[in-house]
Structure 1
């Protein structure tokens, strides 16, 4: 089986659907739909003149055209995202779980998706400002089970290829503490492991946000490899794990001359798309690119601002890692942050 190359597409960002290089993708996740009163509904269009229904219909029609160029492409609706609420209530009882599963199936069939990707951030955890319960741990498994049953029955009834069920999962112990991961994995086709944002918008010192291995300045910190080993140790098969890559960088200002590992100014955190990094920051001459041979990622520094990001070199190493460890493939968040396709080219080549 060919390795997975999965792209998330933030549909609220400007994009030209005809320029998406679907020949290099196996899966495309349309982000996001949301959960309201237990039902899966389209996101807002951002234009008060355009209804949610019309907006979602238009975009899904555009995406279906991509299948004319790559008939094997799988289109999934990604439900949720950071700070997206509604999951805990939807998972609470057998009745609410069945309602959610029916609504998800109806959404998939209406807009002709090939499956669903649940992005609950996170079961049993309210760090994103959403409702969380202790019961989420068991209820998440039950929710996926109900969803899997309805997806399987619907696909069998019309004699089509099975609908896909995937999740986007946190890459640390905090996530595993809130779910029954082995049982969860049994219901999923694969797991999109969000191996990024290790140093995030709350960081107060300069660190890598998507390092492949642990860095010497933070020997007990997060890394993609550490996340993979956690999942394997908790009973998830390697061939169910899709390693995540960010197409954006995270920054921190007020970092002293030491750069990596140094303290910065609290709440000065920022983000840059890879396009901005390549088209504006690097050509400015202000920043020096550094390479962390232990962590196997680059970083930029101008004497004040530290930027952790991915480039073709680090992406290629992640692809090699995925192959060496028998992982299902790679995914990235998200397409519009590198319309030049430099990172996607490196990613797709690395997993061949």
Structure 2
């Protein structure tokens, strides 16, 4: 049968789009009720989070999913993979315990596998933030006491993958080079080989540990993160570029007329705690300040300094999302994209649509 060239091209384009991963986190703090049409193309939905300590015992603890897996599937394309994320920001205690010995790693992996089977998950996402140190408790539990995690991180991942078999294993990895403590040239090839996909958190590139303003998820910053991982030996096709469905704000000490380099107030106290001078707002909340955004076309991010509050704001836009597809996803041959999180998008799903449009160009 003769197939017209236009039809052939359309089929090829569709096949290319479906070959890329479209990973969406679905978190317990932001409710979402999308239709299948609104979530079209999403290949993986990751529920966040199961506690990291649940899997340190045999039998494991029993997580209580905040959403029924079978019901969740009905909101996405047929064949979507539903994954269980473990850990998250501030929850690393279970990983620290689980990675200690060969026996503890096997126990942890066995518990993860049993839980996936019991609850009907297709995959697991390990959100250990961060192996080797720099987690939320870095002042109470200094990095010097976590050096064993650098080598054991890959070992724990290997055990989990062996235990879950054909089910997929993904990991969430830091976007800031200063947090890549366990991602050494020796360890990255081992980490890379153990997993099926890598969700790169190319956002929060400015946080409360900084003392000067910067974009939290710019094109330039995101590309630098991806290039760092590539230089360490990560496989491009395993990496998913991360997108944030929220804006961040930081108090400054004075007037701020440019996006990079303004002095901030004290954002973190001596114990590593939050001073309340910074935060995040979801796009669903649509803060009026976002209408005043200034595109930084040099670095590829949106910013605004609010004179009434002295808050420096930083966020992404559909314009720069499109640019990230061209200059990062395409240019570096990445395997897909991911976003945190579905329920934080605007009510008209502006950012989901932007990712769908970007994927359609691949």
Give me the TM-score of the superposition, normalised by structure 2.
0.81
Shift of 1:186: 0.3
Aligned to 1:15: 32
**Does the 8 A contact of 1:57 with 1:111 survive in 2?**
no
1:42–1:243 Cα change, 3 Å: farther
1:77 equivalent in structure 2: 84
Report the equivalent of 1:188.
195
Are the equivalent residues in 1 in contact too, given 2:175–2:204 (CA < 8 A)?
no
Q: Which residue of 1 aligns with 2:11?
A: none
- Displacement of 1:259 in angstroms is 3.8
Instruction: Say yes or no: does 1:236 pair with 2:234.
Output: yes
Indicate yes or no: 2:212 matched with 1:205: yes
3-state DSSP of counterpart to 2:30: coil
Counterpart pick for 1:147 among 126, 145, 160 = 160
1:250-329 map, 5 Å: 250-254=248-252, 255-260=254-259, 261-267=261-267, 268-277=277-286, 280-282=288-290, 288-303=292-307, 304-320=310-326, 321-329=328-336
2:124 aligned counterpart, secondary structure = strand
The answer on 1:88 being equivalent to 2:96 is yes
Tell me whether 84-93 or 311-320 shows the greater mean CA deviation: 311-320
Deviation at 1:293, TM superposition (A): 1.3
Is the deviation greater in 163-172 or in 131-140?
131-140
8 Å contact from structure 2 (residues 215, 314) kept in 1: yes
Q: Deviations over 1:263-302 (max 9, x none)?
A: 132232121112233x53346xxxx321111211111222
Contact 1:256 1:264 in 2 (8 A): no
Do the aligned residues in 1 keep the contact of 2:176 with 2:205 (CA within 8 Å)? no
Q: CA deviation at 1:150?
A: 1.3
Specify which of 219, 224, 237 is matched with residue 226 of structure 1: 224
TM-score, length-scaled by structure 1: 0.83
> Residues 116 and 164 of structure 1 are in contact (CA less than 8 Å); yes or no, is this contact kept in structure 2?
yes
Q: Distance in 2 between matches of 1:109 and 1:295?
A: 45
Q: 1:171-206: per-residue Cα shift (whole Å, max 9, x none)?
A: 233344324111001011111001111111333322
1:74-153 matches, cutoff 5 A: 74-84=81-91, 85-129=93-137, 133-152=146-165
Partner residue, 2:177: 173
Alpha-carbon distance in 2 for matches of 1:62, 1:227: 36
Tell me the equivalent position of 2:359.
Answer: 351
Q: CA deviation at 1:344?
A: 0.9
Moved more, 73-82 or 21-30: 21-30
**Alpha-carbon distance in structure 2 between the residues aligned to 1:282 and 1:144:** 40
What is the deviation of 1:41?
Answer: 4.7
In the alignment, is residue 62 of structure 1 matched against residue 71 of structure 2?
Answer: yes
The alignment yields a C-alpha RMSD, in angstroms, of: 2.1
Work out whether residues 252 and 264 of structure 1, in 8 Å CA contact, stay in contact via their aligned partners in 2: yes
Q: Which runs of 5+ in 2 are unaligned?
A: 1-15, 268-276
Select between 294-303 and 116-125 the one with higher mean Cα deviation.
294-303
| Range 328-337 or range 121-130, more displaced | 121-130
CA distance in 2, matches of 1:229, 1:36: 33
SS of the equivalent of 1:22 reads coil
Task: Assess if the C-alpha contact under 8 Å between 1:7 and 1:28 holds in 2.
Answer: yes
Would you say the 8 A contact 1:10–1:31 is kept in 2?
yes
SS at match of 1:86: helix
Partners of 2:118 and 2:348 in 1: CA distance? 32
Can you list the C-alpha shifts for 1:285-333, whole angstroms capped at 9, x where unaligned? Answer: xxx3211112111112223321100111111212222022200111111
Distance 1:252 1:147 in 2: 38
CA shift in 2, pair 1:41/1:5, >3 Å: farther
Task: State the alpha-carbon separation in 1 of the partners of residues 32 and 321 from structure 2.
Answer: 23
Quote the offset at 1:18 in angstroms. Answer: 4.7
Q: Is the 8 Å Cα contact of residues 191 and 242 (structure 1) preserved in structure 2?
A: yes
> Residues 17 and 63 of structure 1 are in contact (CA less than 8 Å); yes or no, is this contact kept in structure 2?
no
